[in-house]
Structure 1
Amino acid sequence: MDELTTLSNIQNKTPLSVCFLGGSAWEKNDQPYKDSFDTSKILAENGYTIVNGGGPGVMRASTKGAHAGGGKVLAITYYPSKPKRHYEGRDPENDFDMEVKTMDYFDRTKVMLQTTDIHIVFKGSIGTLSEFGMTWISSWIHEPDNKPIILFGNFWDNILDVLQANLLIEKGERDMFKICNSPEEVLTYIKSLENEIRD
């Protein structure tokens, strides 16, 4: 019941919640880990709730950063019935505050995206690619009532260029994203959207 109450509170958008998506393999000295930590810290300091998948890498970094900023973290987790070689699972070092357990990987991603207000995607691997695709199509379907998507890092421009050159990507579809290169830029962008998101 506490888990359902938590979800209800987030859906009521008080405070606004930011979903952190990105690679699970990054360690403390890797730049994406540092970027995730610093971004979640500054967001937590400004009253935002952080949501992640309860794993290592970008997810752990966002939890640590949120706590450093005095914030709270909700993890949306999935526990396979037996260990999966290519799935990171629950990270014991990710000391989140609240947890919602889901049925499988797809359900985990869906719940993360549906119950948050803003999605931010850091550098990762194929799991990140799947999350990137899911938030993109979901936002496109619901446009103009879509959730903002932030891509962290200029490298995303190259990825979008390749996709646009080889797939049937409409201009409006590419315009769904905001590319940010610093935690401060992320905060400024989110603050500029806050009233619109709450309407």
Structure 2
Amino acid sequence: ECAKFLSGKGYVAINGAGPGIMRAVSEGAKEANGTAVGVTFYPKDITNFEGRDPENPVDIEIRTKNYLERTMKLLELGDCYVLFRGGTGTISEFGMAWGLARLYFGHHKPLILYGEFWNDVVRAFQRNMRIRPEELKVFKIADSPEQAYRAIQVFESVILEQDSPHKEERPFQLWKKVRF
């Protein structure tokens, strides 16, 4: 539902073109007559990777050479990140997006954690890791498509108004909706 809602607002759904949540994201985008982009890689020697789901209805597939390149391409193409419940890949992508948001705070891409369960995840990080208070300001937790959209809008308006020392150090091109 969230991907359908955001695609209806003009956002392109970009995911790893795999099964489960990734497939649901593409299907939601298609229901809203939106575009779904899949960023994939085809490992020959990795047995614990679900790979490309042939039933995931992406419009465009971008093939990468390995997992790291795939993750970096997902981060590069996204104008914002909405993270759903997933596995170790989601944890890895969250870590990279959170790290970039913290490093480039004030000029980072919106980071939305979708679902109430993220509150428990964040509390576990706070209890067990060295998390600075400002690191908790770079993301928002949403539990409905409307909340996710409002959070993206808030981030975009606040971040674009910031006079960040990192303005010229953009890790990726920001604020341009991807159109294919």
SS in 2 for 1:103: coil
Within the candidate set 124, 138, 143, 2:100 is matched to 138
The one-letter code matched in structure 2 to 1:44 is S
Question: Bigger CA drift: 123-132 or 66-75?
Answer: 123-132
Cα 1:134–1:198 change in 2 (3 A) is: closer
The one-letter code matched in structure 1 to 2:76 is Q
The one-letter code matched in structure 1 to 2:15 is N
- Answer yes or no: is 1:51 the counterpart of 2:18: no
Equivalent position of 2:57 in the other structure: 95
> What is the distance in 2 between the residues matched to 1:121 and 1:198?
18
Once the 2 structures are TM-superposed, how far is the Cα of residue 198 of structure 1 from its aligned partner? 3.8
Show the 5 A alignment for 1:5-24: none
What is the number of residues matched between the two proteins? 161
TM-score by length of 1: 0.76
Equivalent position of 2:26 in the other structure: 63
Q: Percent identity?
A: 39
The gaps in structure 1 that reach 5 residues or longer are 1-37
Q: Deviations along 1:42-79, whole A, 9 cap, x unmatched?
A: 11111111101111111100100000001011111111
SS in 1 for 2:56: coil
The one-letter code matched in structure 1 to 2:30 is H
Once the 2 structures are TM-superposed, how far is the Cα of residue 193 of structure 1 from its aligned partner? 4.1
Show the 5 A alignment for 1:20-169: 38-82=1-45, 84-169=46-131
> What is the distance in 2 between the residues matched to 1:187 and 1:174?
19
TM-score by length of 2: 0.84
> What is the distance in 2 between the residues matched to 1:138 and 1:121?
15
> What is the distance in 1 between the residues matched to 2:112 and 2:143?
10
> What is the distance in 1 between the residues matched to 2:49 and 2:109?
27
SS in 2 for 1:150: strand
Equivalent position of 2:163 in the other structure: none
Q: Deviations along 1:158-193, whole A, 9 cap, x unmatched?
A: 111111111111001122110000112112222344
Within the candidate set 119, 124, 141, 1:179 is matched to 141
Q: Is the 8 A contact 2:112 2:152 kept in 1?
A: no
> What is the distance in 1 between the residues matched to 2:142 and 2:34?
22
> What is the distance in 2 between the residues matched to 1:186 and 1:109?
22
SS in 2 for 1:135: helix
